[in-house]
């Protein structure tokens, strides 16, 4: 019984982090609109959307692990490695091939860091 309570708490925590990430991303986008540059706004949005999708994929993988009792550790590492390579490749392609503002893109990518930090502070209060 305690195990399912932990799963529910983890799921609620992940949803909370995801919501915070979206709120922070929305705040970043609104601030970027003040620069009156479509390029900056789209760059912030692109970075933020990558973090939202990456977090969702990562959480779904963890959730799958929590539901299954036995998962091959090698298969888990392979999945994480492939996801990491695809993420780095996507970021590389965006930075090299698209006319984005790199600083704004990095700010969008950092929204998840702020969401995680705020979740930790909120959980302690």
Instruction: Name the residue range of residue 73's domain.
Output: 2-124
Decide: 78 and 14 in contact? Cβ < 8 Å: no
Check residue 107 and give its pLDDT. Answer: 93
Angle between helices 38-67 and 2-33 (to 10 degrees): 180
Check residue 42 and give its pLDDT. Answer: 93
Averages of pLDDT over each 10 residues, the chain, 125 residues: 69 86 93 88 93 88 70 76 92 91 92 91 76
Check residue 48 and give its pLDDT. Answer: 93
Instruction: Tell me the three state secondary structure of residue 1.
Output: coil
Check residue 68 and give its pLDDT. Answer: 66
- Structural domains in the chain (count): 1
Concatenated DSSP letters for 73-86? HHHHHHHHHHHHHH
Buried b (16+ CB within 10 A) or exposed e, 46-62: bbbebbbebbeeebeee
Check residue 59 and give its pLDDT. Answer: 83
Tokens of 66: 């929590």
**Torsion angle in degrees (nearest 10) through CA of 89, 54, 42, 44:** -100
């Amino acid at each position: 019984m305690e195990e399912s309570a932990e799963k529910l708490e983890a799921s609620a925590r992940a949803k909370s982090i995801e919501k915070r990430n979206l709120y922070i991303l929305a705040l970043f986008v609104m601030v970027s609109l003040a620069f009156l540059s479509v390029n900056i706004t789209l760059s912030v949005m692109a970075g933020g959307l990558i973090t939202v999708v990456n977090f969702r994929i990562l959480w779904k993988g963890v959730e799958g692990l929590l539901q299954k009792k036995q998962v091959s550790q090698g298969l888990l590492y392979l999945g994480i490695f492939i996801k990491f390579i695809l993420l780095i490749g996507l970021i590389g392609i965006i930075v090299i091939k698209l006319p984005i503002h790199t600083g704004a893109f990095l700010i969008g990518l950092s929204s998840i860091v702020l969401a995680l930090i705020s979740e930790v502070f909120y959980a302690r209060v």
